[in-house]
Amino acid sequence: MPLSADDIRRAFAALSDELHGQSERAEIIVVGGAALVLLFRARASTKDVDAYFVTPAASVLRTAAEAVAYRLDLPADWLNDGAKGYLVTVTAGQVLYESASLTVRAAATAQLLAMKLAAWRDAIDRADARLLLLEMPGSAAEIWAAIAPFVPSTHVDKASYAFEDLWQTTYGHP
C-alpha cells in the first residue's frame, strides 16, 4: 500500500498519540523515499518510512508503530529501521513533524544523496538522487566531498560510479 505525504503525516500523528499514551518521547530521523516525499514532493508516495530511531529504544518504537499500523490499516512495517545498514553516521536535517511526544526530522540532503547513491537500485533511486543533486550547490568535487563521509565503506566504489554517472547525465561534464 503506497503511503502519500498525507498518509505519512497522519501516521506520525497517530504515532505521537500512541507514544503520549505510553508517556514516551521519541525522536526519529527519516531517510529514503519518505524523506523525498515529505521534503520535496519528489513523488506522490513511498512504500514505507525508513528511519533511524534516536530515542527511545527501537523496541518501544516498533511496538508503537505496530499499534498505529493496526489502527490505520497500514502495512506492519510502515515505519522501520531497515535502512540502518546504509548509515555511517546520522545527521538531523529539517523537521518534518513535531509534537509533544514526537519529533521527526529528515536526514541532511548530503546524507540522503549518499544513501541513494550507495543503494542505486532502480529508476526511483536515480530520480531521487538527481533531485537531491540539484538541491546541492557546488562542483562535482565539492559535492562528492560533502557526501563521501556518509557512504558506507562497503559501498564507496558503487556510490562513486553512480555519482559520476549521475553528474554526467545531469550536467554533461565532469
| Backbone φ, ψ for residue 46 (5° rounding) | -145, 160
How many residues appear in the chain?
174
What span, in angstroms and rounded, lies between the C-alpha atoms of 20 and 128? 34
DSSP 81-102: -GGGGG-SS----SEEEE-SSE
pLDDT in tens, 68-112: 999 999 999 999 998 888 899 999 999 999 999 999 999 999 999
> In the chain, where are the structural domains located?
3-107, 110-171
Instruction: Decide: residue 99, CB within 10 A, 0-12 exposed, 13-18 middle, 19+ buried.
Output: middle
DSSP 32-69: THHHHHHHH--SSEES-EEEEEEES-HHHHHHHHHHHH
pLDDT in tens, 118-151: 999 878 889 999 999 999 999 999 999 999 999 9
**Structure pTM?**
0.92
What span, in angstroms and rounded, lies between the C-alpha atoms of 74 and 104? 19
At 174, the pLDDT band (50, 70, 90 cuts) reads low
pLDDT number for residue 173: 73
Q: Span 31-49, mean pLDDT?
A: 90
Residue 136 near residue 117, CB atoms below 8 Å: no
pLDDT mean across residues, the chain:
94
Cell of 11: 501516521
